[in-house]
Structures are given as structure tokens and as C-alpha cells.
């Protein structure tokens, strides 16, 4: 239920400038992500984009673009170490009975 002209205009019109910019940033993000051996998150990618490429960008936008690219994020949970408790080899005598 869309006008015919609107339907064909959608396919023939050039992409929006924001879409083109997002695609370029996605290429940069993928390069940075692979160079860091899949270790960088949105905050560090943002710093590299600003420092090396001169692109002022927010962390939220980087996060959204990385999420749309389905880049897996590394776990942020610290590992839990299970320490062995020392075994008590002597028994305490029961003085009260």
C-alpha cells in the first residue's frame, strides 16, 4: 500500500550520507578489531578511531555498529579461583563431654 513512485524512488535513490559514513566506520572497526586479535571493546575501538583515523565518535555509536556487525565480545567476568583448603590432621579433644 505504497505509491508506485515512492516504491521505485527507494531503489534508485542514493544512500543517505549517514549510511555511507556508518559503512566506512564499520570497515575501520573491523580492521581495528582484527588487528587487536578480537580483544578490543567499544571503548578502546573509539579511542583508536579518534587517535589514528581522526573520527570523532561516541562510545554508544561504536557499540551499536559493533553489535550490528555481530562481533563477539570477550567475557568481562573474572575467573573464580578455587583454592584448596588445608586439611586439619589433628582432632581436638572434647573436654566437656
Residue-level pLDDT, tens digit, the chain, 97 residues: 899 999 998 888 898 999 999 999 999 999 999 999 888 999 999 999 999 999 999 999 999 999 999 988 776 677 777 777 777 667 777 788 7
Supply the pLDDT for residue 87: 72
Q: In angstroms, rounded to a whole number, what is the distance separating the alpha carbons of residues 29 and 44?
A: 11
Domain boundaries, the chain: 16-68
Whether residue 19 contacts residue 65, with contact meaning beta carbons closer than 8 Å, is answered with no
- pTM here is 0.68
Q: In angstroms, rounded to a whole number, what is the distance separating the alpha carbons of residues 94 and 75?
A: 50
Q: In angstroms, rounded to a whole number, what is the distance separating the alpha carbons of residues 59 and 46?
A: 6
Amino acid at each position: 500500500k505504497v505509491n508506485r513512485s515512492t516504491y521505485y524512488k527507494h531503489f534508485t535513490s542514493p544512500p543517505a550520507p549517514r549510511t555511507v559514513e556508518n559503512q566506512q566506520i564499520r570497515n575501520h572497526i573491523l580492521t581495528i578489531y582484527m588487528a587487536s586479535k578480537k580483544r578490543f571493546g567499544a571503548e578502546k575501538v573509539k579511542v583508536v578511531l579518534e587517535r589514528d583515523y581522526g573520527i570523532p565518535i561516541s562510545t554508544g555509536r561504536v557499540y551499536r555498529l559493533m553489535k550490528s556487525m555481530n562481533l563477539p565480545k570477550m567475557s568481562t567476568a573474572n575467573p573464580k579461583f578455587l583454592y584448596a583448603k588445608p586439611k586439619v590432621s589433628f582432632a581436638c579433644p572434647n573436654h566437656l563431654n
